[in-house]
């Protein structure tokens, strides 16, 4: 019997929890959409009270509800002295438990929570679930390769200096220290995150069937080596990605397009950038964006601008203005004017990234190699120029260049700056007619096809997700 058409019969009620950051919310919501699409499920998405108030618009879908819990900072003002998020854990554990109890006693038709899925930085949620007597899984929204490197580091090198001069995962080229997740490095300002990742890994290594499951935002073919390494260490990992908006793939009329199925924490651009893209030749535009977390230094923006202008290519550049009236706003005006004089480009504060990447005039993506953007570019078949900054980005940039061959990495100088000439060099490779550019574009087409295969009905990720739900009884 196909339970798809019997939405009143909710067999499962998933509670999906993530931090309130743009890059955490969207893949989690894409998972919500997939779970509901399989049928017989209700999903509640929850984030912090303050986080929920920051979302400009909520995508609506039958079977999806929204909720919030307190992290102790409901006005959004966080102390600088909580780097390892212990306050969040302390307060969040109580308030998330209260939320689960509240849902379970409420009279609406969605029924009690039967399964908790939590995202990165919230490993304590597994304990909350277990206290409430419900199973849980960790949704890994970073690359599986970076997760496998963390796992390898904790098992072999943590607390035994000196730091390794390279790390290897069977089936992949060796990773130099600068290619590892940056928070593992002793010099990292984000070293306080280590205990949180350690906890994630401990939970997934415990082998408890009710709490050690890891759902991966990747697909079998994309990160085969890392998936294999985690499995051989006894971890129960399930690739279910790519968790990106698939609206522009879906030619078939029975699929509702989900181009708008995302949350935005930032105001849309006034400029009609899609109309501007329409006026440009195919594969001619350089799209530049560093995601929602990265703020480039002033000098770095200057170098980036020089490289873009020197390239002579049309540019669509997303730069968020952190505060009105400051230095940054003045600099953005300067960039706008310089690109205007050259009639070379458009600067916008935010855009719908999948729409842009899916546009035929976009020829490459200059980016920070955050996992969501990397996967979105792969899905759209757009070559990448990686300017990695922190977290798993250096690892992802290596995969882009050396493993999948879908782009190049921009190299920093001694001062850690990517010079304009280097940006120009990278653009000449990925946008040029040379052999390497051709090869990159061929690889992009290949991975685009494989990504599409993975999530379509009967594909590896689709099968894995259905199998996971089926196994819940």
Written as six digits, the tokens of 98 are 């209260």
The answer to whether the bond into 399 is cis (omega within 30° of 0) is no
Rounded distance, CA 249 to CA 256, Å? 11
Written as six digits, the tokens of 147 are 């997760």
Q: What is the CA radius of gyration of the chain?
A: 22
In the sheet with 345-348, reading across from the earlier edge strand, the strands are 345-348, 315-318, 285-289, 362-367, 384-386, 407-409
Interacting residues of 115 by C-beta distance below 8 A, sequence separation 6+? 12, 13, 14, 15, 134, 135, 136, 137, 472
Catalytic site residue 24? yes
Written as six digits, the tokens of 471 are 């196994």
SS3 content of the chain, % helix, strand, coil (to 5): 45, 15, 45
Cα 353 to chain centroid, rounded: 12
Rounded distance, CA 313 to CA 368, Å? 20
Residue 231: phi and psi, rounded to 5, are: -65, -40
Of 10, 24, 42, 368, the active-site residue reads: 24
Q: Give the CA distances from residue 454 to residues 19, 38, 212, 376, in Å, rounded to whole numbers and listed in that order.
A: 27, 15, 24, 14
> Which own/partner contact pairs does 75-78 have at CB distance under 8 Å and 24+ positions apart?
75/50, 76/50
Other beta carbons less than 10 A from residue 442's beta carbon: 11
- Give the CB-side neighbour count of residue 395, counting CA atoms within 13 A: 25
Rounded distance, CA 116 to CA 118, Å? 6
Rounded distance, CA 95 to CA 316, Å? 42
Buried b (16+ CB within 10 A) or exposed e, 382-394: bbbbbbbbbbbbb
Written as six digits, the tokens of 192 are 């306080």
Rounded distance, CA 292 to CA 320, Å? 8
Closest by Cα among 103, 91, 90 to 134: 103
By annotation, the residues acting in catalysis are: 24
């Amino acid at each position: 019997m196909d339970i798809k058409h019997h939405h009143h019969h909710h067999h499962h009620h998933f509670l999906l929890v993530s931090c309130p950051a743009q890059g955490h919310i969207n893949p989690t919501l894409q998972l919500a959409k997939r779970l509901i699409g399989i049928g017989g499920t209700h999903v509640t998405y929850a984030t912090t009270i303050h986080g929920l108030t920051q979302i400009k618009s909520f995508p609506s879908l039958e079977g999806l509800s929204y909720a919030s819990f307190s992290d102790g900072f409901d006005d959004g003002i966080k102390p600088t002295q909580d780097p390892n998020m212990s306050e969040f854990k302390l307060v969040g554990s109580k308030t998330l438990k209260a939320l689960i109890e509240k849902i379970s006693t409420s009279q609406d038709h969605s029924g009690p929570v039967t399964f908790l899925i939590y995202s990165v930085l919230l490993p304590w949620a597994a304990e909350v679930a277990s206290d409430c007597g419900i199973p849980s899984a960790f949704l890994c929204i970073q690359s599986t390769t970076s997760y496998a490197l963390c796992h390898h580091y904790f098992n072999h090198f943590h607390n035994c200096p000196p730091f390794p001069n390279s790390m290897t995962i069977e089936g992949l080229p060796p990773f130099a220290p600068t290619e590892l997740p940056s928070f593992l490095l002793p010099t990292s300002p984000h070293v306080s995150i280590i205990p949180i990742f350690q906890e994630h890994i401990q939970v997934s290594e415990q082998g408890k069937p009710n709490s050690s499951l890891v759902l991966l935002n990747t697909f079998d073919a994309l990160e085969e080596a890392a998936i294999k390494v985690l499995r051989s260490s006894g971890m129960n990992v399930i690739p279910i990605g790519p968790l990106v908006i698939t609206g522009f793939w879906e030619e078939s009329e029975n699929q509702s397009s989900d181009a708008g199925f995302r949350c935005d924490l930032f105001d849309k651009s006034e400029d009609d950038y899609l109309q501007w893209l329409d006026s440009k030749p195919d594969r001619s535009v350089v799209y530049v964006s560093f995601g929602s977390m990265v703020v480039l230094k002033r000098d770095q923006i200057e170098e980036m601008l020089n490289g873009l202008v020197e390239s002579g290519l049309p540019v669509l550049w997303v730069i968020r203005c952190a505060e009105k009236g400051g230095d940054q706003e003045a600099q953005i005006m300067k960039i706008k004017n310089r690109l205007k004089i050259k009639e070379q480009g458009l600067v916008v504060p935010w855009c719908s990234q999948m729409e842009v990447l899916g546009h035929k005039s976009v020829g490459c993506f200059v980016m920070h190699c955050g996992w969501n953007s990397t996967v979105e570019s792969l899905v759209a078949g757009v070559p990448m120029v990686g300017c990695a900054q922190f977290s798993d980005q250096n690892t992802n940039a290596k995969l882009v260049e050396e493993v999948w061959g879908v782009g190049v990495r921009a190299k920093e100088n001694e001062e850690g700056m990517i010079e304009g000439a280097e940006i120009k060099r990278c653009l000449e490779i990925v946008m040029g007619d040379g052999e390497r550019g051709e090869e990159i574009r061929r690889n992009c087409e290949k991975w685009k096809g494989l990504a599409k295969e993975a999530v379509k009905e009967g594909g590896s990720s689709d099968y894995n997700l259905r199998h996971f739900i089926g196994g819940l009884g």
